[in-house]
Amino acid sequence: MTADELAPDRIMRLINGYWATGILGAAASHALFTHLEAGARDADQLAERAGISARGAQTLLDGLVSLGLVEVGDGGYRNTIEAATFLVEGKPTCLSSFAQLKLAHMGAVSTLPETVRVGGPLTDATVEVADNPHWEKLVQAIAAQSVPVATTAAELLRVAEAGEISILDVGGGSGIYSATWLSLNPAARATQLDWGPINAIARRLVAERGVGDRFTCVDGDFHTTDFGTAVHDIAVYSHIAHQEGRRTTSRSSPRSAARSSPAARSSSATSSWTTTAPGRPSRCCSPPRCCSRAGRGRPGGRPTTTRG
């Protein structure tokens, strides 16, 4: 293909990529996918249920059809199977909160040219504190992303058939790993280490899954909290190592907390690998990068809420 035969279509899609983020984020903000799933069929019905203008509802519907998230059929609009699976509120796989989170991040992207010019952040963000309301939204928004990874890890580690095991989840965030694994194994128990305000969110969300009676939390900082030695069968260290230096990661790893037994394993989704206890072969665990979340942190900084 010569330069004369090239078309700028792909470049234009990249340049205008923010349109998709905006349409999807706005639709999620007004729960349009949830209302469609509940039976709304046109712009007027959506407008009434969502409390927005009919013109705005129609504009979003047109945009969602163009994105392939909503389709027209049987005299009205309806979610595609993809939207019904991942964008309807109340489902464990729902990413609507994450779409809203990314919509809120769009303004910050405009400073990227200056950020790369100076070689670092333009302002010193103050989110790395335990009681920041930021975590309430963030922890819940990213939880659904971890569901596929937690499910895959459970299969590789044979959690469902492991019997009475103890799980340690360092920096568990929303408690999604514990909730997923405890649901698969009614004899298992899980302990999560994270900041107190984050653990409060996790207790609520895990209880909603019906497994809260086997879930306990330790409020603390993973840099200083003693994990114990050989007290758990599985230790989860997920999406934490990437924000720590090599020395800090080695010192803070919960590997020693796992018993050296057939059931004992240490799992790290951050590095996309799973290791077993000493003497046992390693198994590769490579979850999609889109299911992992790059948390922001500083070595020696906040404890670990870097995952849903």
pLDDT tens digits, one per residue of 140-180: 888 888 888 999 999 999 999 999 999 999 989 999 999 99
Q: Which one, of 269, 219, 215, 261, lies nearest residue 241 by Cα?
A: 269
Burial (CB count <10 Å: 0-12, 13-18, 19+), residue 167? buried
Q: Is 3 exposed, middle or buried (0-12, 13-18, 19+ CB in 10 A)?
A: exposed
Which CATH number describes the domain made up of 3-108?
A: 1.10.10.10
| The domains spanning 3-108 and 134-291 adopt the same CATH topology | no
Instruction: Using pLDDT thresholds of 50, 70 and 90, give the confidence band for residue 92.
Output: confident
Range in 16-30, 186-200, 274-288 with the lowest mean pLDDT: 274-288
Average pLDDT over residues 23-50: 98
When pLDDT is cut at 50, 70 and 90, the band that residue 238 belongs to is: confident
Amino acid at 262: P
Q: Among the listed ranges 148-162, 203-217, 220-234, 236-250, which one has the minimum average pLDDT value? A: 236-250
Percent of the chain with pLDDT over 70: 73
The domain 134-291: what is its CATH number?
3.40.50.150
What letter represents residue 175's amino acid? G
* pLDDT above 90: percentage of residues in the chain: 54
Q: Which of 37, 17, 174, 204 is nearest to 102 (CA)?
A: 17
Asked if pLDDT for residue 134 goes beyond 80, the answer is no
Q: Which pLDDT does position 285 carry in this prediction?
A: 32
Take residue 114 and report the two structure tokens written for it: 């200056």
The pLDDT of residue 133 is above 80: no
pTM of the predicted protein model: 0.70
pLDDT in tens, 37-65: 999 999 999 999 999 999 999 999 999 99
Question: What residue segments make up the domains of the chain, in order of their start?
Answer: 3-108, 134-291
- Extended beta strands in the chain, E state: 70-73, 76-79, 166-170, 189-194, 215-219, 234-237, 265-268, 273-276, 283-284
Residue 22 burial (CB count, 10 A): 15
Q: What is the pLDDT of residue 273?
A: 30
